[in-house]
Amino acid sequence: MIRGPILPDLRPRTQSDILESSGEGVAINFLGNRISYPELRGMVESVSSQLEIGRGDVVILSTQNIPQFVIAEYAVWRKGGIVLPVNPSYTQAELDYLARDSGAKLVIASCESNVPSNLPVIRTNPHTFHKVEGWNIPDCEEELNLKSGRGDRVNYSPQEVAVLMYTSGTTGKPKGVPITHSNLYASSLIYVRWFQFTGRDKVLGIAPFFHVTGQVFHVTTPVMAGSQIVATFRFDPRSALRTVQEERTTVTMSVATAYRAMLNSYSGEDLTSMRLWSSGGMPMPRALEEEWKRLTGSWIYMAWGLTETTSPATLWPYPYSGELPVNEMGVVSSGMPVYNTEIELEDGELLVRGPQVVKGYWKQEEFKDGWLHTGDIGEIRDGWVYVIDRKKDVIVTSGFKVMPREVEEVLHLHPGVDEAVVVGIPDEYRGERVVAFVKPRPGAKLNLEELKEFCRTRLAPYKVPREIRLVDEIPKTGSGKIMRRAFKEERSPSHSNS
């Protein structure tokens, strides 16, 4: 077992209390339109006055990264409610399940969002604070009362649920993760102290607010620090790079695919204002780390966590100027345990316990002794944690175990490979066969036999993909994670086989 440093002052506060003490500076910068913290507090009070909810009621919140997400969320909390953030692209069927399982009482949704059946809906318009270009958003009335409402704040305990996020299990329906105000406070304080946030920081908000990374790193952490949230509706690599240059942002966190997209789109923007580039939510290829370092002079600081850990479980030391921490497989380390957090290995699986870890799943038993079984296979070396793969993704071929991550790392070393996903596909003879799906870099012409030979010189024979299929795109979730399950059927999308 390894433990993070002790932070003695983890005395939880509610998010409403934190907002009240978040200062007088700029809270949100949405496409150049700035909202101060006093203005934000006024809008939160106004919107809360129109919400017909009680303490503990669940409110579905469905928007992209717009000011109304932050305003509505803190308004729900002001009333003692629970926020259930969802991706605006969810279908009505998906939303109907979440509404039933959570017992939601109300929906706050942007114009483009689908909504569940039989619930009252308050619509909000992404164009309210600034015209959003390029996303073809339908128009609707702004129904949030952003100006004139007044209402009392409900008092509640930090141990009450603040956010109910749903995460897909290995089987069956999505599971609700009840994140308390205490969990949110711990995670936000961990980021503030670890990465030395101040009121001078400007957070490049490119991870979706409805995802745990965006929720904690882009919303509650900057609010705690009195920092500025810089939002641009949705992630676009060119827009993100331009925003860094124009707004002089200082910190961010997003998935590896976002960094690959920014590298492919880079055209000389000035990125020198950034003191911290960080990433979590999915593996970071070693080749991508090295390419980013050549461009910016900085590593991408890796993090590891889950929805159930309210974001951070491990982080790289900050600041860090050493060599890239990688193991023999080429896996980049996800860092060391954060404050007040314990990590241990049980049969190769990483377990986590700490103040940011939820007690259990919605309507289910609590985790035994507070330990979360993460489902991630990893190793610990010299205090550094290396997350190798998901248990459920390990390929068993002819009795040998293959870690998809190891094969993907090799593929990413090839100069013609932009993105790669490796999965096991059922095989009558081997049980499973190793199959790689590869997206070429722009302008690259990949020879599949040459790419197989590239793998043979770097991998044991049983790890070399039996097939390599070229694809135009790698499907991703709304938060930018690669959808590995999309490739696990025999008829996966491809235009070339070998």
Is residue 110 within 8 A of residue 135, CB to CB? The reply is: no
Would you say residue 223 has pLDDT above 50? yes
Q: Please report the domains of the chain, with CATH numbers, ordered by start residue.
A: 2-388 (3.40.50.12780), 394-487 (3.30.300.30)
The per-residue pLDDT for 490 is: 45
Residues 242-257: tens digit of each pLDDT:
999 999 999 999 999 9
Q: Which residue type does 174 have?
A: P
Percent of the chain surpassing pLDDT 90? 91
The whole-angstrom separation of Cα 443 and Cα 2 is: 46
Q: Report the sign of the C-alpha dihedral through residues 357, 361, 365, 368, in that order.
A: negative
The whole-angstrom separation of Cα 15 and Cα 261 is: 34
Would you say residue 496 has pLDDT above 70? no
Is residue 43 within 8 A of residue 124, CB to CB? The reply is: no
Is residue 119 within 8 A of residue 99, CB to CB? The reply is: yes
The per-residue pLDDT for 168 is: 67
Would you say residue 62 has pLDDT above 90? yes
Residues 206-215: tens digit of each pLDDT:
999 999 999 9
Smallest Cα–Cα separation from 146: which of 162, 163, 164, 122?
122
Query: pLDDT category, 493, cuts 50, 70, 90?
Result: very low
Of the chain, the end-to-end C-alpha distance in Å amounts to: 45
Q: At 386, phi and psi to the nearest 5?
A: -115, 115
Smallest Cα–Cα separation from 383: which of 314, 301, 305?
314
The whole-angstrom separation of Cα 191 and Cα 171 is: 32
Three-state secondary structure of 172-195: CCCEEEEEEHHHHHHHHHHHHHHC
Residues 390-435: tens digit of each pLDDT:
999 999 999 899 999 999 999 999 999 999 999 999 988 899 999 9
Three-state secondary structure of 302-335: EEECCHHHCCCCEECCCCCCCCCCECCCCCECCE
User: Which residue is associated with the tokens 């070393």?
Assistant: 413
408: three-class secondary structure by DSSP:
helix
Is residue 376 within 8 A of residue 387, CB to CB? The reply is: yes
The per-residue pLDDT for 151 is: 86
Smallest Cα–Cα separation from 83: which of 64, 70, 96?
70
Residues 119-167: tens digit of each pLDDT:
999 999 999 999 999 999 999 999 999 998 888 999 999 999 999 999 8
